[in-house]
Amino acid sequence: MKNWDAIVVGAGIIGLALALELNKRGLRVLVVEKGEPGREASWAAGGMLCDFPLETQPELRELATASAGMYPEFVSELENESGLKIDLRAVGTLIFVSRKTGHGPGSALPRPLEELEPALRAKDSAGFFVKERCVDPRHLTAAAIAAARHRGVEFSSGEEVLAVEVADGKVCGVRTSRTQFAAGVVVNCAGAWAGQISPHSFPTRPVKGQMLCVDMPEKEMVRHVVRTIGWPQDVYLIPRSDGRMTIGATSEEAGFDKETVSETISKLRQAAMDLVPRLADARVLETWAGLRPGTPDKLPILGATATPGYFVATGHFRDGILLAPVTATVMGQVMAGEKPEFELKAFGAERFPR
């Protein structure tokens, strides 16, 4: 049986970024994915690199800010390794908070709204400008997969990991629906499915998010990312450089159901048109639903498990795209036995009783 130094379970952006990090550290890495690499939550995400206190839990703010700052280098490296272009935009975000919710931290709009975004209407709301980036997650995951393959990371797809195998009290590999793979180190990056892999039942669950993509009537009709907080129907608008716009997203407890509901998509589209009336003329290109990996306290699970050689990096909920670079960095440090540069106590698996 062929041996690897490390097996990464899950080929979302967290698993891909970590596989690249472990490869840089000289490890022979295998990524095992139950479906097609990059096609689950990461593929379905919006790609906002949110670094705004009203939307980020206090425990996550340090990691969020650090990871947002790492993004230009992260993207540049992936582009160089893969030969693919990633749409990373740095125009910034306009956040509109209902006056009933209260004013949030951030900079007031630098110019009148009619100058910043002539097509936008936001009544009875306090507007803030946040210096954030956004990225196209599909570009990102495609480049990460190509970069990993270019570096010699191996992939096995189309088979589900059923268990992490243990011998003499420590990890010796994984057992899948078809075969076994051997390695002395395993890291569970299986997202919403992470809790289904024995011997540890991590409390992850799928949180469904429905979204749509439209073709803007004019390419630069909206330039900034736009988000609302405390509106009757909160919505976000993410313009892409090619003239598309992603509109999202719901947050539903619906198990592993990934079907879209036409009524729900219509409500999201109407909320977008309430903000930008000219979107009534936008052609709908695609609708989809993704499954975010949620946890009971909405914080990720990061670090070592009670089983020597077994690690976990999952439960990033809405922040998987944002936190990928910093997660790869700190988990690489933890797995190498180094002291991580950020405190991870709040994210340890031991906070949940077995």
User: At 346, which amino acid appears?
Assistant: A
Spatial separation of the C-alpha atoms in residues 82 and 230, rounded to whole Å: 40
**pLDDT tier for residue 125 given thresholds of 50, 70 and 90:** confident
Q: What pLDDT is attached to residue 122?
A: 81
233: part of which helix (H) or strand (E)?
none
Mean pLDDT of 186-204: 96
Q: Are 140 and 17 in contact (CB under 8 A)?
A: no
Q: What pLDDT is attached to residue 107?
A: 64
The most distant pair of C-alpha atoms in the chain lies apart, rounded to whole Å, by 67
pLDDT, one tens digit per residue, over 154-165 is 999 999 999 999
Q: What pLDDT is attached to residue 56?
A: 92
Q: Please report the domains of the chain, with CATH numbers, ordered by start residue.
A: 3-47+139-202+296-351 (3.50.50.60), 93-130+206-294 (3.30.9.10)
Q: How many CA atoms lie within 13 A of 171 on its CB side?
A: 31
Does 105 or 342 have the greater pLDDT score?
Answer: 342
Q: Are 109 and 128 in contact (CB under 8 A)?
A: yes
Q: Are 41 and 12 in contact (CB under 8 A)?
A: yes
Spatial separation of the C-alpha atoms in residues 81 and 300, rounded to whole Å: 28
What percentage of residues in the chain have a pLDDT greater than 70? 96
pLDDT, one tens digit per residue, over 44-103 is 999 999 988 888 999 999 999 999 999 999 999 999 999 999 999 999 999 998 866 555
* Model confidence at 332: pLDDT above 60: yes
Nearest alpha carbon to residue 232 among 101, 44, 62, 69: 101
Spatial separation of the C-alpha atoms in residues 131 and 49, rounded to whole Å: 10
Q: Are 204 and 189 in contact (CB under 8 A)?
A: no
Q: What pLDDT is attached to residue 126?
A: 81
Spatial separation of the C-alpha atoms in residues 120 and 243, rounded to whole Å: 16
Number of C-beta neighbours around residue 210 at 10 A: 24
Q: What pLDDT is attached to residue 106?
A: 55
Q: What pLDDT is attached to residue 267?
A: 97
Spatial separation of the C-alpha atoms in residues 49 and 332, rounded to whole Å: 22
| Cα radius of gyration rounded to whole Å, the chain | 20
Assigned token pair, 177: 């629906």
The order of strands in the sheet holding 186-188 is: 154-157, 29-33, 6-9, 186-188, 310-314, 301-304
Residues present in the chain in total? 354
Nearest alpha carbon to residue 104 among 234, 228, 233, 225: 228
β-pair type (301-304, 283-294): unpaired
Q: What pLDDT is attached to residue 39?
A: 86
pLDDT, one tens digit per residue, over 252-295 is 999 999 999 999 999 999 999 999 999 999 999 999 999 999 99
Number of C-beta neighbours around residue 138 at 10 A: 17
